[in-house]
A and B are shown apart, each in its own frame.
Chain A
Amino acid sequence: MERLMREMNPGRDVVPLTMLLPGERARIVALQHGKGRQHHFRTMGLMEGKIVRVIASQPGRGPLVIDVEGTQIAVGRGMARHILITKL
């Protein structure tokens, strides 16, 4: 799976969303959550292929605020860890 993703995005590493710094942009390559949560994410516009930008990262392991096509979502770090991305 990971190999396949690397082939799709040559030269770019697949990393968790938590590795992104405020202001950086990335493409979502996979959601690794349970079925229910994945569905919830998709209904919020968070899905494979979408471009995300980190707007803010709250201190003390607080939530990330991300922008997906103009929608802002606050997502806890534990959940964000399972969103895989490649940096742009």
Chain B
Amino acid sequence: MKTIALVGCPNVGKSVIFSRLTGVNVISSNYPGTTVDFTKGTTFIGDEKFELIDVPGTYSLEVTSKAEEVARTMLQDADFVINVIDATHLERNLYLTLEILELKKPSVIALNLWDEAQHLGIDIDVATLEEKLGVSVIPTCALCGTGMKELATHVRDAQPSKTIEPMSEEKRWLKVGGIIRDVQVVHHRHHTLKDRLADVTVRPTTGIPLAILAILFVFLFIIEIGNALIEYLLDPIFYDYYGPWIVDAVNSFAPSGLLHDLLIGTSTIESLDFEQSLGILTTGLYVPFGMVLPFVVTFYFMLSLLEDFGYLPRLAILVDTGLHKLGLHGSAIVPTILGCGCNVPGALATRILETKKQRFIAMTLMAISVPCMAQSAMIFAILGRYGLRWILIVYATLLMLYIVLGLVLKRIVKGESPELLLEVPPYRKPDPVTLLKKTWSKAYGFLGEAVPFVILGIFIVNLLFVFGVVDTLSIVFAPILTTVLGLPEGAIVALMLGILRKDIAIGMLLPLGMSPQQLTIACIILSTYFPCIATFVVMLRELGVRDMLKAAGLMVLVSLSVGILMRVILIGI
């Protein structure tokens, strides 16, 4: 099978073209560098099957970074090349185009965002551009699908460029300038509403208040809509329909005994208890579906909206000064926000930071003080019933930890913390269909991860109780838990499960009958002491064994200190 490499600068719509050609859904965002790993797919052109490779975005083929090296190797192995260029930024895209054409591979150029360029008053003479470059140039609009068919047919007949020969870097820039003069005319255009919004959102005097409003709105939206989904949709389903049915069904073949307890725990028709019964089919399904999913859905809907609209880079600019004090820079806000959804993509997204020091600080701070949405949902659920105050104490403590630890880590971690250099994409109107697709794929991904682990967790807990392991562990850890932290000794079960998943771990606190003060302390400790296994694995891979050990040591130390401090503040000595 012959291969086609899809190459281009970051954020030009390569991934959309990829999914158009292959039918495979790829997540695209209005943020540079979405494609960290490459994606492969197959496509039929006529009746011939081709393999299509989505190469990570790069500005150049000169090997100065890992991404460029990957791009170059993939390109050299491919039989055909589709170079996607952004018609609204022709000049800066052409440098890479020249480098690609110098390789003398059969190539075609997709002049993407063609509609937007026309909108902006940019005229490009496609025929002259084809003549200068010596290959076919196809105007495309990946989002609406225009030009895709033509692109596919031209790839098959693609030829290496006859006009472009290898040249020096300086000559290449001159050549780019020359081509631009010959093919492009930019008409003056008036400031649009989007431009004005773009300016207002990055000026500190207006941008900072707007950012605070935006974050507040997002936060309230997630909580309110999440709660409404639980109250009006999920609780009725669980309590009125699913609950009676499943209890009946299980009772019909296992009225009591181990199997009964394992499946539905202590639930009966009269007193349905989804939160504390600890049955695989009761608590095991209610926690992921009934308590966490509504918030995960609303969170990812809002995140996708902000991403596609193009707000995140603006937020990065506004928080840059503050994050510099923590040894990071503005871009670190992206992994942090992703971490609020799930720490795993958050840890992966720290790759957008340039140095090892920044990545170490960003990942460690996230693992300690950024609770994932699953964890947050459970914190809302169990602390919310005692009042907003307790939830605020948990989050204020975590925020303070983030700041204090950052200030310390900036000073003690060796290495560089470079400055921000970030291209700010224009605001784009989010496409509702893409938005819903993205939200769905994230929610689906969450269920795939969460349901098996929550069920496994509940299974393990049941075994621990049956074999009396809980009692032994409780006695062993009682000195630390009871004497030092003021928690009941049974909290050890939650701490153990927290290594598997944080949501079910917080759920395990419920049957212990704790005071709101104790619950608050337990939630803070569960957030900080160690990441869940999935995050741990990713961090280990990203940081290496040595740095992971350092981070883990810090987590345990910080968690214990904060736990003791909060005990003294909330409960007294």
Are the CB atoms of A58 and B169 closer together than 8 Å? no
Interface membership of A20, Cβ < 8 A: no
- What are the residues of chain B within 8 A of A10 when measuring CB–CB? none
Are the CB atoms of B317 and A74 closer together than 8 Å? yes
Main secondary structure of the interface of B (DSSP, over half): helix
Closest chain-B Cβ to A85's Cβ sits at a distance in Å of 17
Q: A55-77 toward B: CB 8 Å interface, digit per residue (1/0)? A: 11111111101000111111111
Q: Give the CA-CA distance A47 to B95 in the complex, in Å.
A: 13
Q: Give the CA-CA distance A33 to B318 in the complex, in Å.
A: 25
A76-B420, A76-B421 given; A43·B95 CB < 8 A: yes
Are the CB atoms of B419 and A56 closer together than 8 Å? no
A55-B202, A62-B321, A74-B317 given; A36·B64 CB < 8 A: yes
Are the CB atoms of A45 and B207 closer together than 8 Å? no
- Total A-B pairs, Cβ < 8 A: 98
Are the CB atoms of A63 and B419 closer together than 8 Å? yes
- What are the residues of chain B within 8 A of A42 when measuring CB–CB? 92, 95, 173
Chain A CB count within 10 A is highest, among B62, B95, B418, B419, for: B419
A45-B91, A58-B317 given; A73·B423 CB < 8 A: yes
Are the CB atoms of A56 and B202 closer together than 8 Å? yes
Closest chain B residue, CB of each to CB of A73: B423
Main secondary structure of the interface of A (DSSP, over half): mixed
Q: Give the CA-CA distance A62 to B424 in the complex, in Å.
A: 16
Q: Give the CA-CA distance A36 to B59 in the complex, in Å.
A: 12
Interface membership of B511, Cβ < 8 A: no
Are the CB atoms of B92 and A73 closer together than 8 Å? no
Interface membership of B304, Cβ < 8 A: no
- What are the residues of chain B within 8 A of A58 when measuring CB–CB? 204, 317-318, 320-321
Are the CB atoms of B88 and A74 closer together than 8 Å? no
- What are the residues of chain B within 8 A of A36 when measuring CB–CB? 64
Interface membership of A3, Cβ < 8 A: no
Q: B96-115 toward A: CB 8 Å interface, digit per residue (1/0)? A: 10000000000000000000
- What are the residues of chain A within 8 A of B420 when measuring CB–CB? 63, 74-76
- What are the residues of chain B within 8 A of A51 when measuring CB–CB? none
Closest chain-B Cβ to A55's Cβ sits at a distance in Å of 6
- What are the residues of chain A within 8 A of B60 when measuring CB–CB? 39, 43
Interface membership of B9, Cβ < 8 A: yes
- What are the residues of chain A within 8 A of B204 when measuring CB–CB? 56-59, 62
Interface membership of A14, Cβ < 8 A: no
- What are the residues of chain A within 8 A of B426 when measuring CB–CB? 72
A22-B203, A43-B9, A74-B313 given; A61·B321 CB < 8 A: yes
Interface membership of B501, Cβ < 8 A: no
A36-B64, A39-B60 given; A78·B419 CB < 8 A: yes
Are the CB atoms of B173 and A47 closer together than 8 Å? yes
Are the CB atoms of A44 and B92 closer together than 8 Å? yes
Interface membership of B540, Cβ < 8 A: no
Interface membership of B89, Cβ < 8 A: yes
Sample of 8 further A-B pairs with CB below 8 A, known A75-B420, A76-B421: A39-B62, A40-B59, A43-B60, A45-B89, A45-B91, A70-B120, A72-B426, A74-B316
A interface, CB within 8 angstroms of B? 22, 36, 39-40, 42-45, 47, 55-63, 65, 69-79
Sample (26) of A-B pairs whose CB atoms are under 8 Å apart:
A39-B59, A39-B60, A39-B62, A40-B421, A43-B95, A44-B59, A44-B423, A55-B199, A55-B202, A57-B204, A58-B317, A58-B320, A61-B321, A62-B320, A63-B317, A63-B321, A65-B202, A69-B91, A71-B423, A72-B423, A72-B426, A73-B423, A74-B320, A74-B420, A74-B421, A77-B419
